[in-house]
Chains A and B, each alone.
Chain A
Amino acid sequence: MRNYVAVVFDDRRKAYRGLHALWALDGEAEVTVHGTAVIHRDDLGQIQVDTKETHPALGTAVGVGIGALLGALAGPAGAAIGAVGAATGGVIGAAVDLDRSDTRQQAADETRFVLGFGQSAVIADVSEDWTTPIDTQMRNLGGHVYRRAKSDLQDDARFEDSEFYYPYENYLYPYEYIPPAYM
């Protein structure tokens, strides 16, 4: 089954241990990992995604879409958050930027459910025949696993025609990428 997985850790260093463990599971053929990213939510609620990009030409894309990914993992209301975050010029602190009061509370609740202030998460696109390998490994590392079937995410992909749409898969490195600071 193809799933999006978010594994929440208390800090970024632990998240990178989780990332390494996830790719190790791929190496053992327990799961197949299609892409991963590590994100962090700071104490003010701002969300950052660790990428290689330092080149300004590519910098504009950073931020747009990651809220959509978080939101998609959180459910339909969360997906709405991501879109609004992107439309406001960045998904940073997407939950806080939401203007639509009808979905704000639900969406905020769902997003907090995925990633709390000061926490980090490994986001992964995986194929897994069973959930035990990832659940067991991540639990041993102190991570909390959330899952959503990729088919469900595609059902939520109603913003693709938006000029602000940025495929969140583009954030997921298709191999183990660890920034030098965390190696």
Chain B
Amino acid sequence: MSTGTDTKVKDALDHVRAAAQELHGAISDAAAKQGGATKADLEVFAQKAKSVAQSLKSSINTQQGAAKKALTEAASELETSQKQAAEGLKASGQAFQNSIRQAVGGARASVQKVSEALAAARSAAAGQHPAATAAKNPTTTSAKNPK
């Protein structure tokens, strides 16, 4: 069972992860379509990446330890992606295609980092509850090498 604070933290991280997932989904859909992504797609990506990066930054101070570090890295990934996308808008041909790949990769890396933050926060929250720890530890030990 979660406390009110746990729930708020979880909700905030879930929300920011959903935003990052949506960002990756949009740019990867655009990249995958016949004809590939357009400059309009990249422009939208750059705008949304900036917005999600800001949300990430505002979540950083609500976290601690590994979660905080992962969120910081996620924000950094997205800021880099946003800058690369802005540069990519001036490019054409292969350079533009490379910008699209960078955008997909950057968005993916960002979601990855947010997921890691979420995992760390969930693990920390679970560890704060004695009942959960007592229930989980014996199984964790016996299930380390499932065959």
Q: A: which residues have CB within 8 A of B?
A: 1-2, 29, 32-35, 51-55, 57-58, 127, 129-132, 135, 145, 147, 169-170, 173-175, 177
* Number of B residues, CB within 8 Å of A: 31
CB contact between A55 and one of B25, B35, B140 (< 8 Å): that residue: B35
Q: Is the CB of A57 within 8 A of B112?
A: no
* Main DSSP-derived SS at the B contact region: helix
Binding-face segment, B42-50, B52-60, B84-92, B117-125 = B117-125
Q: Is the CB of A55 within 8 A of B21?
A: no
Q: Within B18-72, which residues are at the interface with A (CB < 8 Å)?
A: 20-21, 24-25, 28-29, 31-36
Q: Is the CB of B136 within 8 A of A130?
A: yes
Does any Cβ of A come within 8 Å of B115's Cβ?
yes
CB-CB under 8 A from A52, the residues of chain B are 28-29, 32
CB-CB under 8 A from B136, the residues of chain A are 129-130
Q: B: which residues have CB within 8 A of A?
A: 10, 20-21, 24-25, 28-29, 31-36, 97, 101, 105, 108, 111-112, 115-116, 118-119, 122-123, 126, 136, 139-140, 143, 146
* Shortest CB distance B39–A (Å): 15
Can you offer 26 A-B residue contacts whose CB atoms are under 8 A? A29-B10, A29-B122, A32-B115, A32-B119, A34-B116, A54-B32, A55-B31, A55-B32, A55-B34, A55-B36, A57-B36, A57-B97, A58-B32, A127-B119, A129-B123, A129-B126, A129-B136, A130-B139, A130-B140, A130-B143, A131-B146, A135-B143, A169-B108, A169-B112, A174-B24, A174-B112
CB-CB under 8 A from B34, the residues of chain A are 54-55
CB contact between A131 and one of B29, B36, B97, B139 (< 8 Å): that residue: B139
Q: Is the CB of B122 within 8 A of A55?
A: no
Q: Is the CB of A32 within 8 A of B122?
A: yes
Q: Is the CB of B111 within 8 A of A174?
A: yes
